[in-house]
């Protein structure tokens, strides 16, 4: 009984992977056609061979390298992160942009929105006064 369950879980997992790979193939083909590019034109622009591109679009190549995906993302003007995700590669986590490192930055880390707004107003007042 346990062996049967494991086989079913494995089969479902493989089915999910295949569906993602089919999404990658379909997405690449659609992106190329939307740009009205032939496989040969993509080959010339990216350096990726025509047969390789064809195999990608037909789902025969399951996990292209990140460098290939990067070239295609640039060529098709699509999200590199999405191509990585569709091909099963790990994707980077989004981080908040770093805050400016001012001399007083550490003193201002715990400001409320109201305090931040008042400080911004006061700074604008000081700058306007300085310009006079």
Q: Based on the domain organization, do 131 and 67 belong to the same domain?
A: no
pLDDT reading at 8 higher than 50: no
Q: Based on the domain organization, do 67 and 122 belong to the same domain?
A: no
Is the residue at 95 inside a domain? no
Q: Based on the domain organization, do 53 and 12 belong to the same domain?
A: yes
Domain with 130 in it: 102-132
pTM confidence score? 0.57
Is the residue at 93 inside a domain? no
Burial of 125 (0-12, 13-18, 19+ CB in 10 A): exposed
pLDDT digits (tens, 9 = 90+) for 56-96: 999 999 899 999 999 999 999 999 999 999 998 888 776 65
Percent of the chain at pLDDT exceeding 70 = 71
Q: Based on the domain organization, do 77 and 41 belong to the same domain?
A: yes
């Amino acid at each position: 009984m346990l062996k049967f369950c494991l086989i079913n879980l494995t089969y479902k997992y493989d089915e999910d992977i295949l569906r993602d790979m089919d999404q990658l193939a379909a997405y690449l083909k659609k992106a190329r056609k939307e740009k009205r590019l032939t496989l040969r034109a993509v080959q010339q622009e990216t350096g990726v061979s025509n047969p390789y591109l064809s195999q990608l679009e037909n789902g025969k190549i399951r996990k292209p390298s990140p460098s290939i995906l990067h070239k295609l993302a640039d060529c098709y003007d699509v999200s590199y992160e999405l191509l990585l995700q569709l091909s099963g590669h790990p994707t980077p986590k989004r981080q908040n942009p770093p805050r400016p490192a001012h001399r007083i930055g550490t003193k201002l880390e715990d400001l409320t929105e109201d305090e931040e707004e008042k400080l911004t107003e006061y700074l604008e007042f000081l700058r306007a006064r300085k310009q006079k």
